[in-house]
Structures are given as C-alpha cells and as structure tokens.
Structure 1
C-alpha cells in the first residue's frame, strides 16, 4: 500500500496534518474545558450563594416572626395573637413556656408535660439568643421540621422562651428546585454531617456519607473555601459539589452538579472539532495529493528513463528536461550527466572491443599458420633425427671397418718386413696376397661408398641447417666438417684403390717378376707402409666423423625438443587468441544491447 514514494509522502503529510489538527483540537478542547469548568465553578458558586441567601432570608423571617411572639408572653389571653402568628407565619405550631414551668400551647398538652425539659427550651436558655434546633421528626404530623426558639426577658435572667415549629416542606421544595442540570440536585447538611433535606426522603436525617464514602462533615464544611468543585462519584456518575453556609444556621447548602451534563456542550464542541478535523483532512489529502502528484510526476519520468536504460534496447540517447532550479531539476541534470558518461564509456568499449576482435582474429590466424609451420618443422626434424641415427650407425660401422683395415695393413707391413726372409715362399703366398689384395679392394670400395653416402648426408644436413636458420648454424658447421672428411676419405679410398689395383697387377705378373721379387719387395713394403698410414688416417677420420655426427644428433634432438615446446606454446597462444576473440564478441554483444549515438 505504501510502496510508492507518492503514497508515502501523502501518508506522511496526512499524518503530520492529522497530528497537528488533533493537537490543535485537543488543545482547543482542553482550553474550552478549562473555561467551561471555570465558568461552571463560578456559576455554581453564584447559584449556591444565592440559594443560601434565600434560605437565610427564610430563616431570618421565621426568626423575626418568632421574636414577635414574645409580645404575647405578658398578654392575659395570648391565644388570638399566637394563633394569628401561627396561621399567618406558616408555622405548624406556636407556643411559649415559662421558667417556672408554666406554658401556653394552642393544643392541649399532657398534664405531666414539662416544658423546661424540652431541648429547644434548654438550648435557648443556654445560648441566651435566638436558636434553630436541629431537624427532627415531629409527632404530629409525622414530618421533619425544626423549632425556632428565643429567650424572653432580661439578659442572663430570662422569664420565658417562645418557640415556633416549622415543617421543612418549604425548604425541601426550595432546595429540591435547585437543579442546574437535569441530573443535578441540592441538599442541606448540618454541622454534624446529618442530611437536613434531600430529594430522596429516605436519606433525610442520615449521615452525608450515605451518599458517598468520600463525603463527610469535614469535607462538607470545607466546600465554601474550595477553589473548585469537589469531584465525587455517586452511583457511578461524577458530580461536582459546591457548598455554602446558610446564614443564621449551622446548615450547609450543597449543590451536586452532574459533571457530564454540565460539560455536555464540550461533547458538541468535540463533535464539531472532529467534523472540522475530518473536513480539513479531506481537503489536505486532496491538496497534498495534487501537489505531490505534480512533484512525483517528474520523478516518474526519471524512473521511466532508468527503466528504458535497464531493460529493452537500453536507450542511452534519451535526455530529461532541465527546466527550473529545484531538486528534481538537479536530479534530471545529474541523470543526463550520468547518461552522457555511461554512453561515452560504452562507445569507447565498443570501439576497443572491435579493435580487440580484429587483433585477436589476426593473432589466431597467425598462430594457426605458425602452428602448421612448426608442426612441419618438427616433422622435418624428426626425419633429420632418424637420418642422423642411420648416419651414426653407418659411421660407426665405417670406423669399425677402418680399424680392421688398419689391422690388416699392419699385418701386411709385418709380412713385407719379413718378406726378405721368405722370398722363397713368395710364389706360394702370392695367391694369398692376391686374395688379400682383392679383399682390400672390396673394403676400399665399401669405404669409398661410405664416403660418398657421408658426403650426400652431409650435403642434406647442410640444406636442413640452412632451412633451420639461426638455430641450424652450428649444425651447418659440423655438416661442413663431415663433408670435408668424407671428401678426404673418398680421395684416400681412390688412392688405395689405385694402389690395390697396381698390387693386383703386380700379383698377376708375379710369376714374371719373381726374379725381381727382392727389389720389388722393398717397394711393396713401402707401399704397405703407405697403406698403413692412409688406413690410420681413415680410422682417425672415421672416429672424428662419429664424434661430429653424435654432436649433430644432440643438436638435432635439442632442436626437436625446442620445436615441440614452440608447437605447444603456439597452440596455447592460438587458444588464448580464440578465447580473446570470443570475449571481444561477447563484449560487443553486451554493448550492442544499448542504443548509443552514432
């Protein structure tokens, strides 16, 4: 219900207005209540004072009439005077008695009636002034009344006391007529706290506490001096008690005003105030609703603009009106500034994402090409490594053959050395020499073939080293050395072959040259020594070829490992470039969700 700002503002404003109106209404009510109570106190005091004066005048009248009865005391026949006074003064009876116990009554009294023993007689003599007795129940008629009495004679030595009996009917009627409100009432209380008159006859002569436990003689006597009415509950209703003494008596006239009835005007005022508050609230709600609706309408424009940005096409080209200088205009200006910044950032992101996308595409394409070339290079290096392994095996085999050739050359040298001593066995061993010469010729052919193959392999290695670029420079140097050694081996093999061919020719003509064996043997020894030296050189060259080829194999292995690592790095770079391309595409899609200026 209060989820919108408009509803909250209206609710808050209405609450403030309501509290203010209620506070004003309560303050007015309390002020009026105090004024009404003050007026009630004043009017009630005036009423009770006026009515007490009325009762006091009634008492004074009765006292005056009772005083005139004293003239009949010395009259020989006072009946006519007494009867006239009784009937004209509204008394129920009039009489007088002497201190010597004589008495005069209009009615015949009992023979044993002692007038001097009567309470009114004794009280008058005791006080020596006119008195009013406390209310009591008359014998005939059986009603409540009082006696007015006054001593007659010199002060301190009265001879008689005159008295009149008065029923309190008039007083009861007068007091009962005191009703400021329909539920209010008045009553008389004597100084002892006994009720003299009350609208309820059953309470007559009963203690005033019978009305309420809070009432008592002291409380009643304190009423005339009270600043305001004493609030007391009777029968579940609140009453305000006001009191005033009746002049010439010890009575207190008490007026009990029913509080709710006295303040009934406040109820009407409260209703009127409530109606005014309700009308004011309705007008305030209407006025505040119109004002707040006008204010929040611009906030709704800001909200709609933000919703357009947050959903749909994300329109960042929309701008709010910035007319005026109020807070809403400042919000609109700040919104436009914020939108400009966001749009500028997104434009730069769009341009950057496009650049990143193109760059990542080029990187991915280059990496793929590089990956293919690296894989091709790795394959070539694998083939080169395999060829180098074969070359290594061939060179090792060549070295072994050279070692054997050196051993054979050494044996031939030994044979030639001892040739002089075994000339006679030349013919027999010539066949063996011929066979050995053919064998050597075969070996030399093998060496020549190995040298030729080595030369070819070294040439291929140089070509591969040239393809490898900077990494194959050391390999090219080794291949050049191997080629040089192969050429030397080929030259030596040719020379040995020529020598062997010559030896074979000589063996073939051995039979003809037996006579020249001695001289020729020296040449043979020299040739054999030369062969031994050449074979030694071939053996050393073969050893050097083996070492160089081993180094070439190590370099090729290292190149192969580096190429494999490069291939892995290229694949990782390719994957990273593809991921970057995907991220750039996603970023472009996100930016494409906003509508930007061109």
Structure 2
C-alpha cells in the first residue's frame, strides 16, 4: 500500500515544530547545564572553603607546636638543662602559660627513669613510660613526632608532640608536650554552624574518627569510632587525589560530596562534605522552570504557525481540491470561491480556470469524435484549434482515423482470404480424418497378424526346446556307449593276449608230444634189440607213441581252433575300433547338433521378444493414430466453426464506413 502524502501545512508544521522545539530545548538545556555546573562549583567552593578553614587551623596548630617543641628541645640541648634537675623542672613549669593550647610539658630522663612535669605531677609507681605512644613513635627517630589524639584525664582531647633529647650523640631523655586540640574541634563545629549540613571530620590513617561536630562520634576514654564499622563509605574520597570532589556516603547513610586534605606532619585526613540532595533539589527546580518555559515557547510558536498556515496555505488547499476534482473528471468545478489573497494564488487560480475550460472543450470534441468511431463511422475529423501540447491529441485522433481505415480495409480483404483458406482447411481436415481412420484399421489388422506370428514362433520355440532336450539325451547316451566300447576294446585286447598265451602253451605241449613220440620210437627200437625180454616194453612204448600221436593231433586241432579264434578276435577288434570311431563321430555330431539347436532356440526366443516389442510398438502407434484421428475430427469441427465465424466477421466488417 503506497504511503499517504502529507499536506503542505502538515509538512511545514512537521519541519518547523521540531526546529522550534529543538532550539527551545537546546537553549533551556544549555542554561540548565550551566546552572547545574554553577551549583556544583558553588557546592565545591563551600566544601573547599570549609576544608581550607579546618586545614589552615590544623596546620597552624600543629606547625606552631612543632616549632615550639623544636625550639624548646634545642634550648635544652644547647644549655644542657637536663643536668640541673631543679632548675629544669621550674623551667618546664613556666612554659604552659606562655604557649596557647599547650596543656603540659614533661621530660622523661633515661638515666634516672624519672619524669619532670610542668605541673610537678608524679606518675604512679606502675606507670610505664616505654608503653606510651610518644616513647614508641620516637624510638629510632631523630625528629619530632605527633601521636594520635586521645582523651586526657581532665576530659580534654589532646595530642602529644614528642622529641628525643641528645647530649651529643647520646639519647638522654624524651621531651613531650601535651597539646589540646579542642580549638581544632571547635573549628570543625564552627564549620557546621556556618552552613546548614556543611561539616568536616578528621580521621587517621586507620580511619579512626578523631574529630567530628557531633559529640556522639567524638572519641572517649572507653571508645573510638572507626569508619569501617559504620554505614559510611568514603572509599571514593580516600582513593581520589586531594582537592577532587567525589560522591560518598556519610555516617547517616546520606549521599554527600566530599573533598579530602591531609594535615602536614601527621597521618590525619580532613574530610569536608556537603549533602548532594540540596544540589539535586536545585537542579530539579531549574529543570521545572525550563520545562514550563519550553511549554510556553512551544505553545506560542504553535499558535503563530497555525495562524500563518490558515491565512496563506488554505488557498493552496482549495486549489489542490479543485485540481483533485478536475483529475477525477469534474471539469465544471466552481473556482470562484478560492481566496485570492496573493499574486501567486491569483495567477494559479486564473491558469486553473483556463485549463478547466480548455479541457472541457477538448474532451467534448474528443467524446463526439469517439462516438462516431464507436458507431463505425471513421470519416469524422476534429475541427478545434488545440493549443500547445494538446495539438498532439488532434494529430493522434487524425492518425487513429487513418490507421483504422487502413486496418479495416486490410481486415476486410484478409477476411475474404481467410474465408477461402478456411474452406480449404475444412476440406483438408475432412480428408485427414478419413485417411487417419483407414490407417488405424490397417494397423489394427497388422497388429493381429503380428500377434499370430508371435504365437506360432512361441510354439516353435517350445518344440525346439523339447528337441534340444532329446539331442542332449542322445549326446549323453553316445558318450556312455563310447565308454562301454572302450571297455569292450580293453576286454578284446585281454582275450587276444590270453589266447596268445594259450597258443604258446599248446605249442609247448606239441613239442613235448613230439619228444615223447621220439622217446617211444627209441624205446621200441631198444625193445626190438632186447628181443623177447623187450616185448612188454615195446607194447608200452607203442601205447605211449600212439598216445603221443593222438596228443599231437588234438593239440593241432586246438591250435587250429585258437588260430581261428585269434582271427575272429582281430576282426572283432577292428569292428570295435570302427564302432568306437563311429560313436566318436556320433558324439561330435550330437554336440554340434545340440549347439545348433540351442542357437536356434536362442534366436527363436529373441525373435519372439522382438515380435512382442513390435506388437507393443504397433499398439502404441495404433493409439497415436487413433489420437490423430480424434484430433483430425476435432480439427474438422474447428474448421467448420471457423468457417461460420469467418462468415459472421465478414458480415460485421461490412457495417463500417471508411
């Protein structure tokens, strides 16, 4: 959503208001800051004044008493007064009255361990000088020391200033002056009395409160207060350099501004302070006054700005409203009520009046011309004199008329041509639809024939598969027959070998029979020689000879039979070898037949797959052609509808006048 544009008066107010407010706030803020700074400086000056008063008095008190004691010690050492004890005691007794704030002076002698007092006071028997602060602090120090304040037996707050006395380089005693600090305490009290809530306090390096305007915090013989054991917090002041103002918390828990300063020759610190609440109250009052002033100034500026915008910017708003009405088409808006209180507004109103009249005339003629165009009459032309850039409107209307005339003329010609083209498209679409239907029928028949071929090939594949199994079994049987034939060949070889052995044995028997026959012949000869005595032996020899002859005949018959068997065995071996070779050829042929059968089977399977894919492609093609047929029929309907619309367009174009 676009941002809303502000009015001129609101923009002027938006620009001037922040400027006025900024200047007022800057002025008041600067004055307030200056006032606050002055208040803080005044606050610091009060604290500095109180601090200067207290530190000056303390410095004067301590310095004068140190000078006094140093002078006294120098006189004692120079005149060796410690040797004349009677005169020395009288001399000490005359001192307190001549020096303000000196309560008493006494001398502790190391040789006699005796005290010489200005008041002729004799210490108690159990009094131990070595436990006194002035004894401890001066030990090993060749100079003056100051002890922390304490409550004397007379009830006054005093501090001891001590110095060791020398006889040459020998320590002979300690000179001590008890100095009352009541005057310094009174100065602290006077500071509080001079300014409400302005006061100072004195602490030592251990933060023990030594002096305070409130008696409740002043040390007593029984108690001394320490800042760390109270709700006060002076950490910022104690850590800051001397003379720097810091914010701290006093003994009563209130926030205060503090400046510190050390007292020379001591470890005492003066803390001068003033509550911050008074400065804060003054700052609040200043801020309130500034706020009231700022509100008054802003209200006055607002009134002046509203008056100016109402007087001089309201006519511009009226002109703006008139322009808004004209931009919305209200060209008869009354401009007479616009307040012409300046030359610029008068010129602006006159120009707006002329613009409204010109636009009214121009739009009237443009409306009339466009009405003729809407009725189809493009012979109408604008006749008014269009000024300045408005002349482009007249030129544009003339160009529109000429362009539309040319366009309509071309459109009529194109309509006639399109009518003829639509007729041709109608005829082509009709022919395309008829051809697509014929192609669809042919593809359907081809698809059915392909399915039948695929079915036949599938059957052949199944038969080839069966034949392949039979061939595999035949190859296995041939392999088994070859193994049996190999065994038969081995058996025939064994038989032939055994027959040869038998033949050798028979030949041996034949040789034995021949020898037996020869022996029988020899026996017959010998029996003949023997005569009658050898007849019996001759008979036996004859029988043996006859047996030998028969044996020879039988062996000869067996030998012939074995020879015949050997011939038969040799022929059998040849037949077996021939059978073995034939079986080997059968095995080789069976394996080749098996491989060929498997290859044929594989080819048949691939052909079946290709035919199935071809069938699917034909079905897809049939679907596409059917879709094309449907599209052709739709094109035919579209062409017929286009022909109807072209005729209607031609009738409408005839209505225009060009």
TM-score after normalising by structure 1:
0.50
Structure number with higher relative contact order (C-alpha < 8 Å, ≥ 6 residues apart):
1
TM-score after normalising by structure 2:
0.46
